[in-house]
A = this chain, B = another copy of it.
Amino acid sequence: MMDTVAVNGEVRRLEELRLQDFLQSFFFGAGFFETFLVTEGTPMFLERHLARLRSSLGAHAGCVRAPPEDVLTAGSVREALHRCLEADASLGPRFTGVGKLVAGDGRLLLSFRALPAPHAHTVLDELEDRGYRRNDPTLRHKSVSYLRQYAHFGRGTVFANEAGELCEAPNGNLFFLLGDAVVTPPLEAPCLPGVIRAVLLEEGRLGDMPVVERTVERAQLEEVRGCVLTNSVSLALAVPRLLGRELPGSHALAERARAVVREYARREE
């Protein structure tokens, strides 16, 4: 993580921040976060990330202290971001990397880190089917109460609910090439309302296939011909092996998904 951050728009050094100003997030996981790509100084889909953050804060108004409204706007975050990049020579105005927002304790913390090592695919061979519950409202929010997902980072996990329906990966949403469509589980599975997921659903097509929300049962795995993991940093990763099945078709699908996402991002800038 980089040394320069912003708190409610004010540029600070990470080392200056006091734990006591973030106690509700620290003690109770009472905060929400967003992670997004920054390319040559430009944050990707910032409006969408802030909309999700505001939505989660709104749904938890009684227990999570939201930052002031005026720091939760795209204009305000863009300004804070540019001030950080200019203030820190190791970042610089053309910084490319990852931005992170954490909202809680009445504060919006903006921080930066380097891009992860590039990789175009990820193998998902581990099924975790003991924790997710259909319609669980808490798993639709990206809160810092994130241990359930964090404990599975790097382990190639797919979460399934009590009905044997596939939900998501710890670090992203899943899209399956299934029959004549590209299918992603509904939010009720549950899964996070991912920003890249929403973009692909809005576009509605990948090549000649429709992109739809639909329940995907574990038993349907045998019919899956491709799989893609989406998140706001990697955009779309091929899943060439899913729970023991080889899926070479995933690479082309992921490439097409990345192209759609990049085109959307250009339009929204």
Contact = CB atoms under 8 A, between A and B. Distances in A.
A130 interface: yes
Main secondary structure of the interface of A (DSSP, over half): mixed
Contacts of A20: 14-15, 17
Size bracket of the A interface: 35 or more
Contact of A145 (B62, B145, B153): B145
Contact of A147 (B17, B26, B143): B143
Contact of A146 (B21, B145, B162): B145
Interface stretch (A67-75, A133-141, A202-210, A216-224): A133-141
Interface stretch (A27-35, A42-50, A233-241): A27-35
A133 B138 CA distance: 12
A144 B27 contact: yes
Given A145-B145, A150-B29, A137 B130 contact: yes
Contacts of A64: 147
8 contacts: A17-B20, A28-B147, A60-B151, A63-B151, A64-B147, A130-B133, A138-B147, A138-B148
